[in-house]
Homo-oligomer: A and B are copies of this chain.
Amino acid sequence: MEFRIETQDTRSEARTAVLRTAHGAVETPAFVAVATRGTVKALSVDDLREIGVQILIGNTYHLLLRPGPKLVAELGGLHRFSGWEGPWMTDSGGFQVFSLGAGMEHGVGKIASIFPDEEGVPRPKGESLVKVDEEGAWVKSLVDGSWIRFTPEEVIRWQRLLGADIVLPLDECTSPFHDRAYTERAMERTHRWAERALEAFAKTKGLGPNPEQVLFGIVQGGAYEDLRRRSARYVGSLDFSGFAIGGSLGRSKTDMYRVLEWTIPELPRGKPRHLLGIGTVEDIVEAVMRGIDTFDCAAPTRMARNGTLLTSDEESFRIHIKAARFRKDEGPIEEGCDCLTCRRYSRAFLHHLFRSGELTYYRLATLHNLRFMVRLMGRIRETIRAGGTLGLGGLVGG
């Protein structure tokens, strides 16, 4: 893997770069489309190429449950199996250790009051489906209820078999409701896991379909400045090819931006920085200014399926297609959007498809929302290259 910074903004940490993998290059800042089980929900690989998606992220936990890394390896790895021959990342399953564990217990996502339902409503609390110990984590299968052993070594082996271009080590993502003491202990354990992952990664070189695979480290530390700085310095000192920022990002957007301000300066400048699981328009712009290169987030595609379509015509950047005001609206989702959906279909027809529960709706909505993200990232790169000011006004729409 090669990472070449092309433009460094002088007034912020924003930068453009090219990340070269064995399966193609990614121009950054970039949005990584979520393909949990090997496909972006409702889309084909031709759709992804058509809308300009550069890179996908699969999920090790979900792919472990079905169809299993061994089978994927036998069929030539994730690239060949899925038909997406461009760059792939896989997440380690660490986020599932959080969301099925502390996330369940505390009834929250990675930002206390915002995620995962995006409406500020905390999730109902439930029983933890995870047990973490020094060796790794036991995680309950959502398919058959059995307990599966996750260790840093196993997670590397699974990802070697899947064969993504960029893989991540097992980490423990804490909850915004964990106290400082727990967050610190979990962070230190994650650091020990990071070293074990690096060792396992070196030992498994040659295993699986992708000899060019690289491993990124994950920074933890919750919303505590000293912990974040320590974690970034420590993980940043290890021999990772890039870094992901994970874990609890606090209780508000402001908390999240501060976490980035503490973390980024402690990381090596020359390596890529990925922000895990964040992807609203506003957050992306703010995070790029603080030095983030890549993002993955299920929100744009999940929102599409729930009827929420992205558009710069609205202050909130979204409309809900179910609303009665779209019943007779002959315009496209967004004026000037070049996606298949906006070229062919009216809001009125999409309203009808959504209300009727037609399968056609899901693809058309997902195509649009992902195209919106791809165009947003393109405008962000152009603005950085031109030395312009990053801000919502100039970036979105127009």
Binding site for B on A (CB under 8 A): 37-46, 66-67, 71, 74-75, 81-83, 305, 327-328, 330, 340, 344-346, 348-349, 352-353, 355-356, 358-360, 362-364
Known: A46-B344, A327-B67, A363-B359. A349 touches B41 (CB 8 A): no
Say whether B344 contacts A42, CB under 8 Å.
no
Residues on B with beta carbons closer than 8 Å to the beta carbon of A81:
346, 348-349, 352
Q: How far is the CB of A289 from chain B (nearest CB, A)?
A: 35
In the bound complex, how far is the Cα of B359 from the Cα of A66, in angstroms? 16
Residues on B with beta carbons closer than 8 Å to the beta carbon of A82:
349
| Partner pick for A45 among B71, B74, B344, B355, CB 8 A cutoff | B344
Residues on B with beta carbons closer than 8 Å to the beta carbon of A345:
83
In the bound complex, how far is the Cα of B138 from the Cα of A158, in angstroms? 60
Q: How far is the CB of A238 from chain B (nearest CB, A)?
A: 35
How many subunits of this chain does the assembly comprise? 2
In the bound complex, how far is the Cα of B76 from the Cα of A328, in angstroms? 11
Say whether A38 contacts B71, CB under 8 Å.
no
Quick one: closest B residue to A366, CB to CB? B359
Known: A46-B340, A353-B39. A75 touches B363 (CB 8 A): no
Quick one: closest B residue to A351, CB to CB? B67
| Partner pick for A349 among B38, B327, B340, B348, CB 8 A cutoff | B38
Say whether A37 contacts B344, CB under 8 Å.
no
22 inter-chain pairs at a CB distance below 8 angstroms, sorted by A residue, are: A37-B356, A37-B358, A38-B353, A41-B359, A41-B360, A42-B359, A44-B340, A45-B344, A66-B356, A71-B327, A71-B328, A74-B328, A75-B328, A75-B330, A75-B346, A75-B349, A81-B346, A81-B349, A82-B349, A83-B349, A305-B359, A363-B363
In the bound complex, how far is the Cα of B44 from the Cα of A362, in angstroms? 11
In the bound complex, how far is the Cα of B364 from the Cα of A359, in angstroms? 12
Residues on B with beta carbons closer than 8 Å to the beta carbon of A75:
328, 330, 346, 348-349
In the bound complex, how far is the Cα of B354 from the Cα of A37, in angstroms? 11
Quick one: closest B residue to A356, CB to CB? B37
Known: A71-B328, A328-B75. A39 touches B358 (CB 8 A): yes
Q: How far is the CB of A63 from chain B (nearest CB, A)?
A: 9
In the bound complex, how far is the Cα of B35 from the Cα of A349, in angstroms? 14
